Every structure is written in C-alpha cells, then in structure tokens.
Amino acid sequence: NAGVMQNPRHLVRRRGQEARLRCSPMKGHSHVYWYRQLPEEGLKFMVYLQKENIIDESGMPKERFSAEFPKEGPSILRIQQVVRGDSAAYFCASSPGGRSEGSFFGQGTRLTVV
C-alpha cells in the first residue's frame, strides 16, 4: 500500500515560469491537504480538497496559486509566474475522512526559484 506520493521531489524554476506540483493520496483516501514550509519556518496550511471540490482555501495566496483535485488523477498545486519567495517545501497530506487527524504526509516537493 503505497503512501502519499508527490512529484517531482525537486523542482527548479526561473522567475516568471509556472510550477506544477502533483500529489497522489494514499489508496482509499479522498481528502487532500497542501501545506507549505518556508525555510526555517513551520508548516502552513494552504488548501483542503476533496475530489472535484475545494473545501477550504483560506491559506492560499490570493494571486498566482491554484489547486485542483480532479475526478481522475492526482491533485495539482499550480503556481504561476513564480517568484523567489515561492521557494519552499510543499507537502501534501491525505486522510480517509473529513478530519485531518492521522493525516499522512508525502515526502514533499522542494521548489527552488532562481
């Protein structure tokens, strides 16, 4: 039973490019959460999705960031026109139900903007 799978593990983008981060939840999990960890800081909630629905996006920056979790395929976190401040580790977590206790985290995607 594979855990939460994120790819790529490392992503380098030039300023102004787009970054696409993918997350496949654990088998049987239909709830996905994205978190961002800036260097030397704690994890910050970004968005909570179920299949085809955004449930809570209160932690998402207002511009350039979007997330989706389609009926088929992984959840995608998309960052348009990346800036240096977007450099961070982005973690995805999944859970079987609507509460995030016991969430399992993927290994993360480390985004570096140069």
Site for another protein in 69-108 (CB under 8 A): 89, 91, 93, 98-108
Distance CA 25, CA 27 (A): 6
Distance CA 96, CA 26 (A): 8
Q: Pick one of 35, 60, 88, 94: the residue that binds another protein (CB under 8 A).
A: 35
CA angle 60, 66, 71 (to 5 degrees): 120
Number of residues interacting with another protein: please give it, by CB under 8 A. 28
Beta strands per DSSP E along 1-107 = 5-7, 10-13, 19-24, 31-37, 43-50, 53-56, 65-68, 75-79, 88-95, 104-105
Tell whether omega for the bond before 39 is within 30 degrees of 0, i.e. cis. no
Would you tell me how many other CB atoms lie within 10 Å of the CB of residue 1?
Answer: 5
Nearer to another protein by C-beta: 37 or 66? 37
Q: Does 44 bind another protein (CB under 8 A)?
A: yes
Q: How far is the CB of 78 from another protein (least distance, A)?
A: 20
Q: Pick one of 48, 69, 77, 79: the residue that binds another protein (CB under 8 A).
A: 48
Sole window of 11-19, 40-48, 62-70, 71-79 interacting with another protein (rule: CB under 8 A):
40-48
> Which residues are at the interface with another protein (CB under 8 A)?
31, 33, 35, 41-45, 48, 55-56, 58-59, 89, 91, 93, 98-108, 110
